[in-house]
Amino acid sequence: MRRVGLAAAVVAATLVGAPSAMAQTAPVLEGGKTSPVFGYADAIRERVFIESPYDSDKNGVKDIIAIDIKRPKATSTGLKAPVIMDPSPYYSTLGRGNESQLKRDYDGDGLLDLWPLFYDNYFVPRGYAVILMDMIGTNNSTGCPTVHDESDNLSAKVVIDWLNGRTKGVDKAGNEVKADWHNGKTGLIGKSYDGTLANAVAASGVEGLTTIVPISAIASYYDYTRTNGVVQRGNHYLQSLASTVTNPDRRDYCKPVRDELDRNDGDATGDYSDFWAVRDYLKDLDKVKASVFITHGVQDENVRADHFSKWWYGLKERGVTRKLWILRQGHVDPFDGRRAVWVDTIHRWFDHELYGIQNGITSEPAVDIEVSKDVWESHTDWPIPGTKMTDVFLQSNGAAGQTLGAFSGGADATTTFRDNNLSENNYLSLTSNATQQGQKRMFLSPPLKKPLRLSGTAIIDLQASLSKTQSNLTAFIVDYGPSTQTTRSGDGVSTPADAVVNCWGGSVPDDTGCFKETTKPQQTVTQWRVTKGMMDSSNRNSLRIAEPVTIGGSYTFSWPMLPEDFTFAAGHRVGIVIGANHSGYGSVNGMTQTDVTIDTKRSKVQLPIVGGYSAAVQAGLFGEAVEAPVGGTVPATLSLALGAPASFGAFTPGVDQEYTAKTDATVISTAGDATLTVSDPGHLANGAFTLPEPLQVALSKSTWNGPTSNEKVDVNFKQLVKKTDPLRTGSYSKTLTFTLSTTTP
């Protein structure tokens, strides 16, 4: 039965584009996009082995990287093809895609028959070569996985070096293989570990990498395993992951490498170290030259959303060409959430970046945001333009409870709770608030009068004291009100037993490019955790150096929440929940039962509100607060005062000498600009006699591009007297006029 269905797919593929495959040596555009004019069934398949500079298993032999290549037959007769590469450690273990596809060589000839994912099916007929790379230590590559040490990180860089003729590759017989069919441009794409490898290679700045499409990818492995000093994945997570991706028959062999990971991971403290620095791509953002198309789910509990936001913010600062999709799902590939639009978008993206087709994609809005199930908005940037960080103060009012304020206030100066290792549900619950308020603090807005949208990264600024020298501190932002949300269970994706199957690109009997459609399960809730964040109090000043607090001392604890783009509906309440040592969010060994005293006159949250303070007031975030502007006027002022008169002292006749003198001027200006000038100095005079050499005047500053107040300006004078200059007994002097003026009063 499997062969019958696959045969039908082959016929469909043949009808699309194979007739012209042999005639084409360049891509053909249709509707502004490359069209499937190259064959798929007759595509060239290769496996190439490339020696790396790494010896990850320390056996004295350089690791070999294996790659599987599928390229149009026309590349043997003149077509110069770009490469789309998915580097991965999962091709022989967990598989790729929602259907967990593995690489398969059914006939044992050393060439792939089943190629995971749809990239080869779709892009090879459109003139691209597709490479699936086995990361060092996995599948057909040698060595051992190091979980993003350099040998992991730069496996794909070695392949790009081979593609561009900078290193040697061979076939299984040892014959040298060159990529003389390559056009010099490579794009990397992949989800999770694969996308992380793409980030790592981009951060190396390697020549020949043109673009990357990281999907749910990691920007810093420290941030993946820790949160502001709190260990998120204990029990030596790195060695566990290394074991998972290693071929089962090599796991015993690679145990010494995993043991070394255990010795160096620093799980006992959670502090940042050089071990994590090599796994941190944010520090190398200045090297990124490739364009970047990011996609990430804000409900991703595996690779949390701060990975995309920190990467995005850093790329923006450096002017890197970038594009972003934000999904309201978890650890999900957009292929399993917005399939047709996603395929079309990456098609146009790769056409533009790798074939240089001017299709306008970089002129379109750079950001797509899923605001609710399958409802998308486009924006020019993210956070949404018009978003402003807005101070929201945490106020305490005795029996009336805790509220949110537009300013510091409230009846109480402090409020204290003792943590009891609560679950997230008990932290967020309104119904259990009365009995558990002693174990948390919940600051609530009144019901909103209008919708209120957050876009970006909120920041907690907590002024507090602790009853222990160390504690984890937790915060949640919560939406209280009825709503329907894409469930966090299963990453918000489900594949029904009777799912519709659709196909993307060409097909052959063992590889159809056909995949099941997924759904997005929804749930109706009365409260929804919008975002969360945490920090270890000992890492308040440094992630590298832990600093215990003094019991009872007042400290500032400031940490970012996970980024979000979320709208609170009218009638809903905004909640800020503060806790400590949350059992479901990091290691709490030895830190429970900590008393946390919050200074409610100085503690606040910075919220990224679209529209800023005015939008918060109009939405009723602070209750019946109204805007009450406070201000004053500034009269137009230009003021110039000169210091003491300058004197050169006595001139000596018959001697070559340059005399100096100085005074100062004090400038006050409320103008948009100002200029200080001095009249023509001329020559010093003594009655009818003048010095032959002119007086020179220099100002330390003479122009301003804005207002200034009581700014001192040095006024320096020089007078040259030559030995042949006749000097008359008496005093030489000159009166100068200094003028302060403006063109924009």
If we measure between CA atoms, which residue out of 588, 598, 604 comes closest to residue 422?
588
**Distinct helix (H) and strand (E) counts, the chain:** 14, 40
Question: What tokens were used for 380?
Answer: 């020019």
Question: Does 300 participate in catalysis according to the annotation?
Answer: yes
Write out the H or E segment, with its range, that includes residue 394. Answer: strand 387-396
For residues 202 and 282, give the distance between their C-alpha atoms in angstroms, rounded to a whole number.
11
DSSP annotation of 494 reads: B
Question: Does 161 participate in catalysis according to the annotation?
Answer: no
For residues 304 and 218, give the distance between their C-alpha atoms in angstroms, rounded to a whole number.
8
Pick the catalytic residue: 331, 347, 572, 582? 331
For residues 679 and 588, give the distance between their C-alpha atoms in angstroms, rounded to a whole number.
74
If we measure between CA atoms, which residue out of 257, 229, 234 comes closest to residue 245?
257
Q: How many CA atoms lie less than 13 Å away from 64 in the CB half-sphere?
A: 15
Between the alpha carbon of residue 32 and those of residues 82, 357, 358, the distances in Å are 18, 8, 8
The answer to whether 549 and 462 are in contact (CB under 8 A) is no
Other beta carbons less than 10 A from residue 568's beta carbon:
26
460 forms beta bridges with 559, 605
Q: What is the DSSP string of 52-82?
A: -S--TT-SSS--EEEEEEEE-GGGGTT--EE
Amino acid at 581: N
The answer to whether 117 and 142 are in contact (CB under 8 A) is no
Pick the catalytic residue: 52, 192, 220, 669? 192
Pairing verdict, β 322-327 and 291-297: parallel
For residues 637 and 527, give the distance between their C-alpha atoms in angstroms, rounded to a whole number.
56
For residues 38 and 36, give the distance between their C-alpha atoms in angstroms, rounded to a whole number.
6
The answer to whether 51 and 66 are in contact (CB under 8 A) is no
The answer to whether 155 and 149 are in contact (CB under 8 A) is no
Other beta carbons less than 10 A from residue 128's beta carbon:
28
If we measure between CA atoms, which residue out of 133, 141, 136 comes closest to residue 116?
133
Buried b (16+ CB within 10 A) or exposed e, 498-521: eeeeebbbbbbebbbbbbeebebe
Phi, psi of 335, deg, nearest 5: -60, -25
Question: What tokens were used for 682?
Answer: 């001329």
If we measure between CA atoms, which residue out of 459, 477, 422 comes closest to residue 594?
422
Q: Is there a cis peptide before residue 383, judged by omega within 30 degrees of 0?
A: yes
Pick the catalytic residue: 134, 149, 280, 300? 300
Catalytic residues: 192, 300, 331
